[in-house]
Amino acid sequence: MSMTPEEAQASLQAIRKLTGQTHRALYHGTGYFPIIWGLVWAGGFLGYQYLPFIPATLLWVALLMVGGLASGVVGARLGQRVRSTNGARIGLFFAVLIGYAYLWLWIARPLSLPQMELLLTLAVLFGMLATGLWLRVSYLIVFGVVVSALAVAGYYALPASFGLWMAVLVGSAFVGSGVYQLRCGY
């Protein structure tokens, strides 16, 4: 079997083109996850900012259920194209992380509501950072670090508007991340 440099170049170009097409076609739609959760967080934190404690908590619970349901629908659709053994492990990791975060909050009580909101937010962002390190996804690492720093800054600099800060910051960061993923095909 012989091949000219022109044929080799054509083959290499075909491979490069298909690699890009593969990412765009098969991973398109994963960006819906951060968009869903960005809207959930924005709604939840706005409720925390402007509603009394019990309605705000009920709103959080309702939004979490809607977010979980929507994620399940998106996940089922994406799973028909590409499925990953890591997907289940990442889901389990986040479930364990949130469980531990609630345990730590319970041990550290009494905590103020803003403290609890910030610590839970940081737990989720830590999970994103760890997932980025694990899967070598640089944008998840940057996202985790930058949004964590901004969340802590808002907690100390804007205590009276912390819920609004988190709604705008975390909500828009998640939604922006999702839009970026949809545009880039990841």
Question: Can you read off the two tokens belonging to residue 7?
Answer: 């044929």
For residue 36, give the amino acid letter. I
In whole angstroms, how close is the CB of 114 to another protein at the nearest point?
39
Instruction: Please report, as residue ranges, which positions from 25 to 84 form the binding site for another protein (by CB under 8 A).
Output: 25-26, 79-84
Residues in the interface with another protein (CB under 8 A) total 27
- Which range in 9-17, 63-71, 161-169, 171-179 contacts another protein by CB under 8 A? 9-17
Instruction: Please report, as residue ranges, which positions from 123 to 142 form the binding site for another protein (by CB under 8 A).
Output: 135
Q: Is residue 3 at the binding interface for another protein, with CB under 8 A as the rule?
A: yes
Q: Is residue 161 at the binding interface for another protein, with CB under 8 A as the rule?
A: no
Cβ-contact 129, 138 below 8 angstroms? no
Question: Can you read off the two tokens belonging to residue 122?
Answer: 């940081």
Q: Is residue 172 at the binding interface for another protein, with CB under 8 A as the rule?
A: no
**b/e for 51-70, b at 16 or more Cβ within 10 A?**
eeeeebeebbeebeeebeeb
Nearer to another protein, 21 or 161 (CB): 21
Non-local (6+) Cβ contacts of 141 within 8 A are 129, 132, 133
